[in-house]
Amino acid sequence: MTTLMDTVDQPSLGARVKQRISSDERVMRVCMGIIALFLLVAVVLPLYSMMAKSMEDRDGAFVGLANFAEYFSTPSLFFSGINSLAISLLVTFIVIVTAFIYAYALTRTCMPFKWFFRLIAIVPLLTPSLLSGVSLVYWFGNQGIAKDMLFGETIYGPIGIIIGSTYWVFPHALMIVITALSITDARLYEAAAALRTSAIRTFFKVTLPGCKYGLISAGFVVFILVFTDFGVPKVIGGNFNMLATDIYKQVIGQQNFQMGAVVSVVLLVPAVIAFTVDRLVQRKQVALLSARAVPLEPKPDRRRDMMMFCFCSFVALLIILMIGMAQYAALIKFWPYNLEFTLANYNFDVANGGGWDAYHNSIKMASFTAFFGTIIVFFGAYLLEKGRGFAIGRGVFHGIAMLPLAVPGMVLGLSYIFFFNNPDNPFNFIYGTMTILVVSTIAHFYTVSHLTAVTALKQMDDEFESVAASLKTPFYKTFFKVTVPVCLPASLDIMIYLFLNAMTTVSAVVFIYSSDTQLASVAVLNMDDQGELPFAAAMAMMIAYTCATARLLHLLITRKLLRRTQAWRHR
């Protein structure tokens, strides 16, 4: 080396340099701490109390795994587990196959009326999962108009659960598969064509491997959703026991909280395993899409397009029949003896379940959840993605943010009773209020919102923050001037996601609503429980219309905002 070093006095090696934390950084860490605390209180600690509960006897004394031993020695409970597993696997298979063909038709063919099929596939997202159960009773129940199609089999049981579950999880799977199929490089297909590869071979060697991870991911999502869902089996399950309904039976029917906690833990295990495996698989996925990828433009193929059109029409028809029947039933005076039309079933105030107040509460709850949830989720994701240093803290934060996806709503709801209704808990005051519903709903749907925000933030140049620091601009200025406007579409997506889910969810809130805060979705459940099926159908349809309106508003607002504030996106 040259002359430069000669005069240098060598500082002692190995003395670690400690970065001085800037005031910006300090503020960010405090903010992250607050959001981490929120997640701690909203997710981790309640789950902990639930785990603790599962190891207590009725008097609260610690009994180790005795409750679990009892659980596994009760054959009917054990069979519930087997049932849950079998149903979930079967539904996963059916939904993935259907969703794949449907998504393939939407992304890779020149089928007509694609916009319509896209629209109709979203419909199940706008309704509570219970709606399919209610509708199925009218179709295939003992007084159902299509009862004979079951050839004497009863709809109350596995058949009903499978059809009902398939209906409501379909759009969840479809969205993931569409994304997976959209990400492809046309050049791969050109290469395959140039090599004279047959269409079938191309399908198996190019198409399927290309969306392999998407399919796996969709599979896990569907599995977890069905495995932990409680609405459909509750309404249409008959005597067919599943884990999710067992929790309800243990807690509501027998007031056996300890056993409820035990089943919750049992329910948690496969969900967490499925979730973990999915994460590991996703990690292996390498970016298929290089910057130079050419988007695939499907070419018309009459025969294939027609076949796909027929298939999609069939699926769409099923969805329409499902929701259509619910609407029809809601307008009928007294099924099946008096088929006159009436609006009496919308007079919710004479039915159990909280009346119109419940509906208004739902809208209030969903709005709060969407508003506060989006702020918390987005800001949390921002701090996680764009903050610097503090690696362990951020890793832990990310881990906690991923946790809710693996926690079934019922488990979360139950654990809220244990945690928040403890008089020693400083947060005890939110028990029985709207706040606890909002907190639980945000927590319940945290992960997907978080991932949406993270994805949007990842698409932003990592160097924005470095540039801003070099220009000595405090982080919040960059956040409000750049990050928020650029991520506005993603934020609106999170908002509508939270709103729709808050409107339709039952599982977590069923344990923690109070008389002041009855909810429409819970009302549907209770109305069905009481056998007030027409009211249940009417209320479910009110939810559906509200969600559809919200979705439409979201679309309009997004469009308008994009045009006005996102002019920079256009060249």
Partner 1 sequence: MNEPAESKKPYLKIRALTKNFGEFVALKDISLDIFESEFVCFLGPSGCGKTTLLRAIAGLDIQTAGSIEQEGRDISGLPPSERDFGIVFQSYALFPNLTVTRNVAFGLENRRMSRDKVSSRVTELLSLVGLPDQGDKYPAQLSGGQQQRVALARALATSPGLLLLDEPLSALDAKVRAHLRLEIKDLQRRLAVTTIMVTHDQEEALTMADRIVVMDHGVIEQVGTPRDIYNRPSSAFAAEFIGTMNFLEATVSASGEVSLGDHRFRCDTSDFEVGSKITLSIRPEDIVVDEGEGNQQNTVMADVRYIEFLGSFCRLGLDSAVFADSDVRADLSIHMMRDRDIDAGTRISVCFPENLIRIFALR
Partner 2 sequence: MTRKNIIPQSVSTLFGAALLTFGMASYAATELTVYTAIEADDLKRYAEEFNKVNPDIEVKWVRDSTGIVTAKLLAEKENPQADIVWGLAATSLMLLKSEGMTEGYTPVGADKLDKKFVDSDSPMHWTGMDAWVAAICVNTIEAEKNNLPMPTSWKDLLKPEYKGHIVMPNPNSSGTGFLDVSSWLQLFGEDEGWKFMDGLHENIAWYTHSGSKPCRQAGAGEAPIGVSFAYRGAKVKAKGAPVEIIIPSEGAGWDMEATAIIKGTKNLDAAKKLADFAVSKQANTMYNTVYAVVAYPGVAQPVEFYPENIGDKMINNDFEFSANNRDRILKEWQRRYDSKSEPKS
Q: How far apart are CA 232 and CA 248, in angstroms?
A: 13
Q: Residues touching partner 1: how many (CB under 8 A)?
A: 46
470 binds partner 1 (CB under 8 A): yes
**Is residue 46 reached through a cis peptide bond, with omega within 30 degrees of 0 on the bond before it?**
no
Minimum Å gap between C-beta 557 and partner 1 is 18
The single residue among 189, 230, 335, 479 that binds partner 2, judged by CB under 8 A, is 335
Minimum Å gap between C-beta 239 and partner 2 is 5
Minimum Å gap between C-beta 242 and partner 2 is 10
- Phi and psi for 336 in degrees, rounded to 5? -100, 15
265 binds partner 2 (CB under 8 A): no
Minimum Å gap between C-beta 104 and partner 2 is 36
Q: Candidates 123-131, 219-227, 244-252, 445-453 — which segment interacts with partner 2 by CB under 8 A?
A: 244-252
Q: Which of 118, 232, 125, 164 is nearest to 548 (CA)?
A: 125
The single residue among 32, 36, 41, 411 that binds partner 2, judged by CB under 8 A, is 41
10 binds partner 1 (CB under 8 A): yes
Q: How far apart are CA 126 and CA 503, in angstroms?
A: 8
391 binds partner 1 (CB under 8 A): no
Q: How far apart are CA 196 and CA 190, in angstroms?
A: 10
Q: How far apart are CA 483 and CA 492, in angstroms?
A: 14
What is the pairing mode between strands 332-334 and 338-341? antiparallel
Q: Candidates 147-155, 214-222, 264-272, 477-485 — which segment interacts with partner 1 by CB under 8 A?
A: 477-485
Q: What number of residues does the chain have?
A: 571
Biggest CA-to-CA distance, the chain: 103
Q: Candidates 1-9, 122-130, 242-250, 266-274 — which segment interacts with partner 1 by CB under 8 A?
A: 1-9
Minimum Å gap between C-beta 337 and partner 2 is 6
The single residue among 432, 464, 484, 489 that binds partner 2, judged by CB under 8 A, is 432
Instruction: Specify burial of residue 562 (Cβ count, 10 A radius: 0-12, 13-18, 19+).
Output: middle
417 binds partner 2 (CB under 8 A): yes
Minimum Å gap between C-beta 260 and partner 2 is 9
Contacts of 540 (CB under 8 A, 6+ apart): 127, 128, 130, 131, 134, 326, 330, 524
* Cβ-count burial 11-41 (b if 16+ within 10 Å, e if not): eeeeeeeeeeeeebbeebbebbeebbebbeb
Choose the contact partner of 463 out of partner 1, partner 2, none; CB within 5 to 8 A by kind: partner 1
11 binds partner 1 (CB under 8 A): yes
Choose the contact partner of 15 out of partner 2, partner 1, none; CB within 5 to 8 A by kind: partner 1
Q: Which is nearer to partner 2, 54 or 245 (CB)?
A: 245
Q: Which is nearer to partner 2, 157 or 210 (CB)?
A: 157
Contacts of 188 (CB under 8 A, 6+ apart): 206, 210
- Tokens for 158, please give them: 């596995």
DSSP state, residue 62: B
The single residue among 57, 153, 461, 516 that binds partner 1, judged by CB under 8 A, is 461
Q: Which is nearer to partner 1, 5 or 287 (CB)?
A: 5
Q: Which is nearer to partner 1, 436 or 468 (CB)?
A: 468
Confirm if 157 and 142 have CB atoms less than 8 A apart: no
Minimum Å gap between C-beta 428 and partner 2 is 7
| Partner residues linked to 332 by β-bridges | 341
Going through 369-497 in order, the beta strands assigned E by DSSP cover none
- Tokens for 30, please give them: 């405090």
83 binds partner 2 (CB under 8 A): yes
Minimum Å gap between C-beta 37 and partner 1 is 25
- Tokens for 95, please give them: 């939904």
* Cα Rg, the chain, nearest whole Å: 26
The single residue among 26, 57, 65, 74 that binds partner 2, judged by CB under 8 A, is 74
Binding mask 337-376 for partner 2 (x = CB under 8 A): xx----------xxxxxxx------------x--------
Q: How far apart are CA 93 and CA 172, in angstroms?
A: 14
- Tokens for 312, please give them: 């999609």
DSSP state, residue 416: H
Q: How far apart are CA 76 and CA 430, in angstroms?
A: 37
Q: Candidates 105-113, 173-181, 455-463, 527-535 — which segment interacts with partner 2 by CB under 8 A?
A: 527-535
Q: Candidates 137-145, 166-174, 377-385, 488-496 — which segment interacts with partner 2 by CB under 8 A?
A: 137-145
Minimum Å gap between C-beta 328 and partner 2 is 15
Contacts of 335 (CB under 8 A, 6+ apart): 138, 143, 329, 533, 534
464 binds partner 1 (CB under 8 A): yes
The single residue among 477, 559, 560, 563 that binds partner 1, judged by CB under 8 A, is 477
Confirm if 61 and 67 have CB atoms less than 8 A apart: no
Choose the contact partner of 249 out of partner 2, partner 1, none; CB within 5 to 8 A by kind: partner 2
390 binds partner 1 (CB under 8 A): no
Confirm if 204 and 385 have CB atoms less than 8 A apart: no
22 binds partner 1 (CB under 8 A): yes
392 binds partner 1 (CB under 8 A): no
290 binds partner 1 (CB under 8 A): no
Q: Which of 41, 101, 130 is nearest to 538 (CA)?
A: 130
The single residue among 72, 529, 548, 562 that binds partner 2, judged by CB under 8 A, is 529
DSSP state, residue 63: -
Interacting residues with partner 1 (CB under 8 A): 1-5, 7-8, 10-11, 13-22, 24-25, 388, 461, 463-464, 466-474, 477, 481-482, 485-486, 565-571
